[in-house]
Amino acid sequence: MKPRYNIIPLLFSVVFMFSCSKKESVENAEEKTEQPEEQHQESPQTIASLTEEQMKAVGITLGSIEMKELTATIKANGQLRVPNNNKATVTSLYGGIIRTLNIQVGSAVKKGQVIATIANPEFIRLQEDYLTTNSRITYAEQEYRRQRELFDNDAGARKNLQSADAELKTLRTRKASLLRQLQMMGISPGKISNGNMRSGLVITAPISGTVSSIASQIGSYVDVSSPVAEIIDNNSIHLDLQVFEKDLPKMKIGQVVHFKLTNNPETEYDAEIYSIGSSFENDSKTISVHANVTGNKMGLIDGMNITGIVSLNKTVTPAIPNEAIVEADGKFYVFVKTDKKPEAHEDHQKEAGKPVETKPESLNFEKVEVVKGSSDMGYTAVTPVKEISPEAKIAVKGAYFINAKQTNSGEHEH
């Protein structure tokens, strides 16, 4: 009976060993099935394959990298500026109530043009003082002549003559001051009389230009510190380009700048560099380069943001047509004809136990990253990230369709 009881532990040991080995085999199988997928994810598709019929259908043509004489350029951002000596704040030399306002925002004005009139009773008092001073001078001159005759005939005291002389000089000084004040107010002293005193003054434009803002209205009070309007002369508008330190040696006076407004990229304007700064702007590590706007200035306003392209000297450089370059994920690529094959999809089919599809004869293209340079006359200078043979053929037309084909193939494999 004893041997019958010892067989039970032996059975438990066999079952336990069998279950463990089965579990290990399942885990190994899972790892094997997962490993190809992980490796596949780490190897993105870079080869696109197209048949001759597909290439003809979308108009893909091949060419080579050419040596082209292109105008090198530098891109810089900036703003439109008007010099301070071409801006003006319109103010009144005297306080008063605005009686008329002859301008609107956007009005074109000439230097000296009347843009507003103001009224103040003090203006009449100033004219009154001028007329009174004139009368007192007439009397003072007579008194001085009388005292002079008396003193010359030993009939008058020197003190009286000196007093009359001082009074006459004081009045003449007062008249000269009032005369100047009236002229600054725009009042002709020779036209002032008891029956012709002006209660209003005119405010004129200090420069020619366009009214950019109006700060007052009819009935409001203005004084020396109160601006009535602002005038700006956009004919003197120029560019303030912010150029980085590394590009500064390439800047020269007389270079042409083509620029576009940030809010209107459809229209291109031209400017010419006339001054290059010699100090950094704040902490930006950029230097201001100034350029006069030439030609059309319609729609240009002080403070507008712009993007400019500075034309440098012409250089001979490897270049390809603009449409041969495609952009993806912030980088630029070209498609080079290659003997490599997109094997990833076939390997995937073999691993899945499926028959490999047979495709008609096709051309393969490898996606190669490039760095863009200057563009001119439909060509762009390029520097390949990895070497491209001078004899290599690239897709100079229809690269967009090859990129779409390659992208779709990659998605299909995943």
pLDDT digits (tens, 9 = 90+) for 62-76: 888 888 877 777 888
Token digits for 146?
């009388």
- Residue listed under structure tokens 């020269």: 252
At 48 the pLDDT is 82
Distance from C-alpha of 125 to C-alpha of 176, rounded to nearest angstrom: 16
Token digits for 281?
């702007």
Q: By CB neighbour count within 10 A (0-12 exposed, 13-18 middle, 19+ buried), where does 29 fall?
A: exposed
User: What DSSP designation does 354 have?
Assistant: P
pLDDT digits (tens, 9 = 90+) for 311-321: 877 778 888 88
User: What DSSP designation does 196 have?
Assistant: B
At 299 the pLDDT is 79
Distance from C-alpha of 319 to C-alpha of 373, rounded to nearest angstrom: 9
At 116 the pLDDT is 92
The pTM (predicted TM-score) of the whole model is 0.53
> Which residues 6+ apart lie within 8 Å of 70 measured at CB?
314, 315, 316, 317, 319, 373, 374, 375, 376, 377, 379, 381
Nearest to 96 by CA among 20, 36, 13, 186: 186
pLDDT digits (tens, 9 = 90+) for 324-346: 899 888 889 999 988 887 655 44
| Mean predicted confidence (pLDDT) in 354-363 | 58
| Mean predicted confidence (pLDDT) in 141-159 | 83
At 409 the pLDDT is 63
- Beta strands of 184-304 (E only): which ranges? 200-204, 209-214, 221-222, 229-232, 238-244, 256-261, 264-280, 286-294
Between the alpha carbon of residue 271 and those of residues 63, 239, 241, 268, 297, the distances in Å are 36, 8, 11, 10, 10
Please report, to the nearest 10 degrees, the dihedral formed by the alpha carbons of residues 223, 228, 234, 240 taken in order.
Answer: 60
Distance from C-alpha of 17 to C-alpha of 312, rounded to nearest angstrom: 80
pLDDT digits (tens, 9 = 90+) for 166-196: 999 999 999 999 888 888 777 878 788 777 7
Position 8 pLDDT exceeds 90: no
Helices (H), 265-398: 343-351
Q: By CB neighbour count within 10 A (0-12 exposed, 13-18 middle, 19+ buried), where does 41 fall?
A: exposed
At 367 the pLDDT is 87
Asked if 351 contacts 36 with a C-beta cutoff of 8 angstroms, the reply is: yes
Distance from C-alpha of 166 to C-alpha of 176, rounded to nearest angstrom: 15
At 360 the pLDDT is 54
Q: Strand 362-376 and strand 331-338: pairing? A: antiparallel
| Mean predicted confidence (pLDDT) in 361-384 | 84
> Which residues 6+ apart lie within 8 Å of 184 measured at CB?
93
> Which residues 6+ apart lie within 8 Å of 273 measured at CB?
251, 252, 253, 254, 255, 257, 289, 290, 291, 310
| Mean predicted confidence (pLDDT) in 89-118 | 90
At 22 the pLDDT is 45
Position 33 pLDDT exceeds 60: no
Distance from C-alpha of 32 to C-alpha of 67, rounded to nearest angstrom: 51
Position 18 pLDDT exceeds 60: no
Helix (H, G, I), strand (E, B) or coil at 39: helix
At 413 the pLDDT is 47
Distance from C-alpha of 135 to C-alpha of 197, rounded to nearest angstrom: 16
Nearest to 362 by CA among 61, 52, 54: 52
Q: Degrees (nearest 5) of the Cα angle 100, 104, 109?
A: 90
Percent of all residues in the chain with a pLDDT value above 90, rounded to a whole number = 16
| Backbone Cα Rg of the chain | 45
Most confident segment among 47-51, 214-218, 352-356: 214-218
At 198 the pLDDT is 78
Q: What is the maximum span of the chain, computed from C-alpha positions, in angstroms?
A: 178
pLDDT digits (tens, 9 = 90+) for 126-144: 888 888 998 899 999 998 8
| Mean predicted confidence (pLDDT) in 229-257 | 88
Token digits for 95?
């306080």
Band of the pLDDT at 1, cuts 50, 70, 90? very low
At 343 the pLDDT is 57
| Mean predicted confidence (pLDDT) in 342-355 | 51
Question: What's CA 213's distance to the chain center, in Å?
Answer: 23
Between the alpha carbon of residue 218 and those of residues 115, 198, 223, 273, the distances in Å are 12, 19, 14, 44
At 44 the pLDDT is 54
At 207 the pLDDT is 93
Position 9 pLDDT exceeds 60: no
At 45 the pLDDT is 63
